[in-house]
Amino acid sequence: MPSQDALKTDPAKLTEAQAKAELKRLATEIAAHDKRYYQQDAPSVTDAEYDALRQRNSAIESRFPKLIRPDSPSKRIGAAPTGKFKKVRHAVPMLSLDNAFAEQDVIDFVARIRRFLKLSEDEKLAFSAEPKIDGLSMSLRYEGGELVTAATRGDGAEGEDVTANIRTLEDVPKKLKGRSMPAVCEVRGEIYMTKHAFLALNERQKAAGDTIFANPRNSAAGSLRQKDPKITASRPLGFFAYAWGEMSTMPADTQSGMIKWFESCGFKTNPLTKLCRSTEELITFHRKIEEGRAELDYDIDGVVYKVDRIGWQERLGFVSRTPRWGIAHKFPAERAMTVLKDIELQVGRTGALTPVGKLDPVGVGGVIVQNVTLHNEDYIKGIGSDGESLRDGRDIRIGDTVVIQRAGDVIPQVVDVVIDKRPKSAKPYHFPKKCPCYLHTELVREETATGEEGARTRCTGEFACPYQKVQHLMLFVSRRAFDIEGLGEKQIELFFEKEWVKEPADIFTLEKKHKRDLLELEGFGETSVRNLFNAIEARRTIALDRFIYALGIRQVGETTALALARGYGSWKAFHDAGLKVAKGDDDVIAEMDALDQIGDTVIRAVAAYFGESHNRGIVERLTKEVRILDAEKPKEDTAVAGKTVVFTGALEKMTREEAKAQAERLGAKAAGSVSKKTDYVVAGPGAGSKLADAKKFGVTVLTEDEWLKLINGES
């Protein structure tokens, strides 16, 4: 490890040995950030901090070219694709806006426009003022009024094709309303997740041991990047239309007119959008929106002003990659100062410990904040990328005055420590060596995949640690697992404490063994006890994917559980495979590896789970109490089994969703785009680029009727 001093040394002053070590560290660190950003949608540093790391890497490399590593970040382009989706080139590039922070910047912006257009003083200049939604921009291409492609912004020139996922959004019309539609029309706007939906999603992710998203924007991104559109469909995403790309004809000549037209086509547009006729009106708008910001159920990070007349927008044009006709007037980051009163440790289901800072309650942007995550031991010490970059290496102590910020509006974090206010009594925080539970099990620092010391601390108690047991029981009864109504956090904790429910199987014997005890408890009347037992009985029969998910196997969230259930079909098949994988059976490991969406990490977690006799006992006792339904296996004996089909254009006998679902029931794979591997393209009227692709790749094209004949066995 290079010393902390070397890390801060000016690249121009590094010795060769230091440079070599530093390049190695940067390669690892940047790769880790890339992974978190691009694949997990969970960045742990700000864009500016990330850019600084890359710049440092380039500066050192240009001084010591012979030290450039084969895995250097400079050899990879910034916007690393996830590799999951097809690329789409934007017909009109998706650019971004310049930022204004101070009121003076807005005054200058308006003056610049007036000068450029040579407007006289009494000439009216109106702006469309719109909240700047903190989500992901999306370009929706309609041909003949039909949605054909939905693409992310990507690097502005090329984005990712997320059509199948976007089709599941209620806010995105599959067919535009209205009569005379432009032949081609690209509607652009923002995909976002509401704050409520974000918090609820994180609860579910946490219960499942899945990725916790840092803010609604990241969770919207993560939800869009799903391979299975069903997962996207289960995530409540919204869309506001506010701009356009390629248009074969223009239905309006002002920004505000375009917004009205989007509405008439069936889109949602932001209700706070306002036409402003002077700089004063713009600034008043900004103030008003900022005041109401906390009450909105979606994140915004500023407001956008756009010259209303499109003719003027065209004259103003662009300076490099931002328009002259528009600007984003950002809000200052929401920060507040308060005192850190204590640090508590939370133990998660998998034994990972999270230190939580207990604050003197303080208002930040209209919300009272009392807790703040302190991530891990290194973060508190101010070492490691998180702490170091935020606080310049200063550690956090109980009693310190800290500056907190609500990043992305929702999750507060400590961005600074006010050293001048540090009381003499404040001592460096020592991370405990024992679990806070009554067993005081030993805590250890986790190892990373490369065998180095990781940042996370874990309780070694595994099955003995009561915190972990309770967390697992909570996952077990949660909505995505057994979904037992009336059995929530409070009841689980209570029943666990009384030792009536120590493991999942005990839930199903609760009535037999503890009905009397329960009736004697305060707050449990005849009716509520009856309702609880009915709810438990109703869940004795369960779908295979929910059952697998409920076991709480590490790395096995909802999606993975579904993939395993589909892959194995029955509990017996999965259970047998799990036991064999645990014994290192190469054939069964290869078989599991061949399943869609299953890889090494999951296989290792399944092996670890079934390798533990304690888990095998839990499973054995539980399976005696419940009936696990087989998963629906894709059919293999139909004319289209194993074939890949793409539906495009308007279908007349059924909706595209129905057609896809039917194809999948018959064992076919319904894809969103055409490739060499596509077997059939079913094209209805208005089919556009996909039909052209089919011809290019020589794929069989069928009419809707021909397809129906094929699946009904008439051809």
The site for ligand IVH (CB under 6 A) is made up of: 95-97, 130, 132-133, 137, 190, 242-243, 304, 323, 328
Decide if 244 contacts 147 (C-beta within 8 A).
Answer: no
On whether the CB atoms of residues 428 and 343 are closer than 8 A, the answer is no
Question: The tokens 């290019």 sit on which residue?
Answer: 696
DSSP-derived secondary structure letter, 633: P
Q: Are 651 and 704 in contact (CB under 8 A)?
A: yes
Contact criterion met (CB below 8 Å) for 422 and 397: yes
List C-alpha distances in Å: 146 to 19, 133, 134, 170.
56, 26, 27, 15
Q: Which is nearer to ligand IVH, 328 or 477 (CB)?
A: 328
Q: How far is the CB of 138 from ligand IVH (least distance, A)?
A: 8
The two three-digit tokens of residue 640, written as one number? 């289209």
CA distance 642 to 634: 9
Least distance between ligand IVH and beta carbon 99 (Å): 8
When the beta carbons of 130 and 693 are compared against ligand IVH, the nearer one is 130
State which residue, 189 or 348, has the beta carbon closest to ligand IVH. Answer: 189
Which residues lie closer than 8 Å to 232 by C-beta, 6 or more apart?
165, 166, 168, 169, 223, 224, 226
Give the whole-angstrom CA distance, residue 205 versus residue 201: 6
Q: How many Cβ atoms are within 10 Å of 523's Cβ, its own excluded?
A: 8
DSSP 654-669: S-HHHHHHHHHHTT-E
Give the single-character DSSP code of 553.
-
User: For the stretch 419-444, what's the b/e string if a residue is b when 16 or more beta carbons lie within 10 angstroms of its beta carbon?
Assistant: eeeeeeebeebebeeebbbeeebebe
Helix (H, G, I), strand (E, B) or coil at 457: strand
Question: CB under 8 Å, gap of 24 or more: what pairs does 60-63 form?
Answer: 60/11, 60/14, 60/19, 60/22, 60/23, 60/26, 61/23, 63/11, 63/12, 63/14, 63/19
Do the Cβ atoms of 518 and 510 come closer than 8 Å? Answer: yes
Minimum Å gap between C-beta 246 and ligand IVH is 14
CA distance 683 to 706: 10
Report the DSSP beta bridge partners of residue 683. Answer: 648
Q: Which of 20, 66, 86, 132 is catalytic?
A: 132
**Residue closer to ligand IVH, measured from CB, 187 or 588:** 187
Between the alpha carbon of residue 712 and those of residues 573, 681, 704, the distances in Å are: 32, 17, 12
Q: How far is the CB of 255 from ligand IVH (least distance, A)?
A: 9
Q: Tell me how far, at minimum, the Cβ of 155 lies from ligand IVH, in Å.
A: 12
| CB burial of residue 55 (10 Å; 0-12, 13-18, 19+) | exposed
Task: Judge whether 477 and 491 are in contact, CB under 8 Å.
Answer: no
CB 306 within 8 A of CB 130: yes
Residue 132 catalytic?
yes
Q: Please give the Cα distance from 686 to 567 (Å, whole number).
A: 37
Minimum distance from residue 339 beta carbon to ligand IVH (Å): 36
- Nearest-approach distance from CB 673 to ligand IVH, in angstroms: 24
Residue 187 Cβ, how far from ligand IVH at the closest point, in Å? 12
Look up tokens 């976007």; give the residue. 166
Structure tokens at 479: 């909505």
3-class DSSP assignment, residue 194: coil
Least distance from C-beta 131 to ligand IVH, angstroms? Answer: 7
Q: Least distance (Å) from ligand IVH to the CB of residue 220? A: 11
* Strands in 548-694 per DSSP E: 627-629, 644-648, 669-671, 680-683
Q: Report in angstroms the alpha-carbon separations of 539 from 170, 610, 617.
A: 31, 24, 21
Query: What number of other Cβ atoms are within 10 A of residue 692's Cβ?
Result: 11
Least spacing, CB of residue 124 vs ligand IVH, in Å: 22
**Nearest approach, Cβ of 152 to ligand IVH (angstroms)?**
10
What's the DSSP call for residue 387?
H
Q: Which residues are catalytic?
A: 132
